[in-house]
Structure formats: structure tokens, C-alpha cells
Amino acid sequence: MTGQGTTELTVQENAEELRRTVTRLFGRSLHIRTLDTGSCASCEQEIRLLAAPHYDLHRLGFFFTPAPRHADLLMVTGPMVRAFENAARKTYDAIPDPKIVVATGACALGGVYQPDPFTHGGVGETLPVDVWIPGCPPSPLALLQGLLVAVGRLADKVKDLDFTLNGTPQ
């Protein structure tokens, strides 16, 4: 980002404040509602395993809830099939504020499907996304990291990765 003086500092301060608020509200206990906008079903299988003995998201204070009214976080998979938009919007609207939207998996992040008459090719156009979790499908470990990043308990690590093999950062 190029420096923009006091305006940029205010933006950064606001972002920090937001992070602290999110952690205060959700850091210890969070209820998750999932939303399948057209996935191949493997993302759903990895999400189901979050509650399984090997991963046990409950030990971290995360819980699944089928009721959007009780949810804090919406975990969205799939490329947003256009025929599903109405149901997606209704689910999002039914979750009270404050809420976090997590786009989960390559399809939701804009990979695999390109925009065409059947799908949007990602959920970013339809829903306001707060957290992005790559993977095809993201493993339960990646999902745990994503949830912890979403509530501010783990730092965003990918920000500092440059995906080069020479070892020297950009």
C-alpha cells in the first residue's frame, strides 16, 4: 500500500479496533452455520470432520448450529450457483449482526468455476466475505486455522508468504 498519511493510519486503526471487537465478541465461543452454494460435497465432508475426535472444534469454543438466528459465523462453500442465490441471501439475512462470513474452499474463492450463466464462480459478488480459506477441499486443520484467524486468535500467516522457493522474502 502506498502511504496516504493520516487517512491510512485511521484505516489501520479502525481495522485493529475491528479485530479487537471481533475477538472480544467471538474469541471464546462462536456458533457456525454452513451454507452449500453448489459444492462437490468434499468441503462438507471436511467440515463435518471438525466435530470428529481427531479435530474436535468444541475444545476451541466453536459449535455448529442449524439455526441462523443463533449463528455468529456463516461458512460458505461452493461457487454460488445462480439458482441458489435467493436461498443464500435469505440465510445471510436471517443471521443477526454482528456476523462473520467465511468463504471456504477454492470454488467459493473464485477458482474452479468461472462466471457463466450457471454460477457466479465464487461467493464474493453475492455475500460480503470477511475471511477466505483456500483449499480443494480445505483440510480440517486448514479449516481450524481459518476459524481461529476469523476470531483473531491466530495471525494471518499467508500475508507474509511469498510462494517462492529461493527463501528470501520479497
Partner 1 sequence: MTAIQPSVASRPGLSDLLTGFGQDAAGDGPVITLGVPVADLEAAVRRIAAYPGARLADVFASAGSPAGDGNSARDGSPAGDGSPVTLRLVWGLDADHRYLITESLVEGDSYPSLSAIAPAAFAEECEIYEQFGIRPAGGRPLNRVALPPGAGPDWPRLGRAPAEPPRDVHAPHHVGGHAFEFPFGPVRQVAVESLYYGLVTSGEELVDLYLFTWHKHRGVEWRMRGMAPGEALFYVERTEGLGAVGNSWAFAAAVEAALGLEPPQQAMAARAIALELERLYNHAAATAALCQSTGLVIGQAAAEIALERLLRVNAAVFGHRYLFGVVDIGGTRADLDAAALRSDLPGAYAELERAADALLTTNSFLDRLEATGILTEEAARRLGLVGPVARATGLAADTRADHPARPYGEFPLAVAVADTGDVLARFRVMLTEAAESVRLIGEIGRTAAGPGLALPPGAGPGQPASSGLGWAESSRGEALAWVALDGSGRITRARLRPAAVRNWRGFDDACRSQNVFTDIPIIEASFWLTVAGTAR
Partner 2 sequence: MPLWTLRGLRRGVVTTRYPARPDASAQLLPTPPAFRPEVLTPDLADRLVAVCPSRALARDGDMLVFYVGACTACGRCRAEAPEAAGASGEFELATTAREHLIKRIPLAGRPT
Nearer to partner 1, 57 or 151 (CB): 57
Nearer to partner 2, 56 or 85 (CB): 56
Using alpha carbons only, what angle is made at residue 65 by residues 33 and 87, rounded to the nearest 5 degrees? 40
Residues 129-168 that bind partner 1 (CB under 8 A): 136-137, 139
Q: Give dist(CA 132, CA 150) in Å, integer.
A: 9
Task: Report in angstroms how near the CB of residue 98 gets to partner 1 at its nearest.
Answer: 20
User: Mapped to the 3 state alphabet, what secondary structure does 54-105 carry?
Assistant: CCCHHHHCEEECCCHHHCCEEEEECCCEHHHHHHHHHHHHHCCCCCEEEEEC
Distance of CA 142 to the CA centre of its chain: 11
Determine, following the binding rule CB under 8 A, whether residue 85 of this chain makes contact with partner 2.
no
Determine, following the binding rule CB under 8 A, whether residue 125 of this chain makes contact with partner 2.
no
- Exactly one of 8, 16, 17, 116 binds partner 1 (CB under 8 A); that residue is 116
Q: Is residue 147 within a helix (H) or strand (E), and if so which, with residue range?
A: helix 140-150
Determine, following the binding rule CB under 8 A, whether residue 131 of this chain makes contact with partner 2.
yes
Cβ pair 65, 29 in contact under 8 A: no
- Exactly one of 2, 3, 5, 54 binds partner 2 (CB under 8 A); that residue is 54
Residues 37-56 that bind partner 1 (CB under 8 A): 37-49, 52-55
Q: Which does 47 bind (CB under 5 to 8 A by kind): partner 2, partner 1, none?
A: partner 1
Nearer to partner 1, 53 or 128 (CB): 53
C-alpha separations of 111 from 14, 50, 92, 124, 125 in Å = 30, 23, 22, 12, 14
Which residues contribute to the site for partner 1 (CB under 8 A)? 32-49, 52-55, 64-66, 78-79, 81-84, 87, 90-91, 107, 112-113, 116-119, 136-137, 139
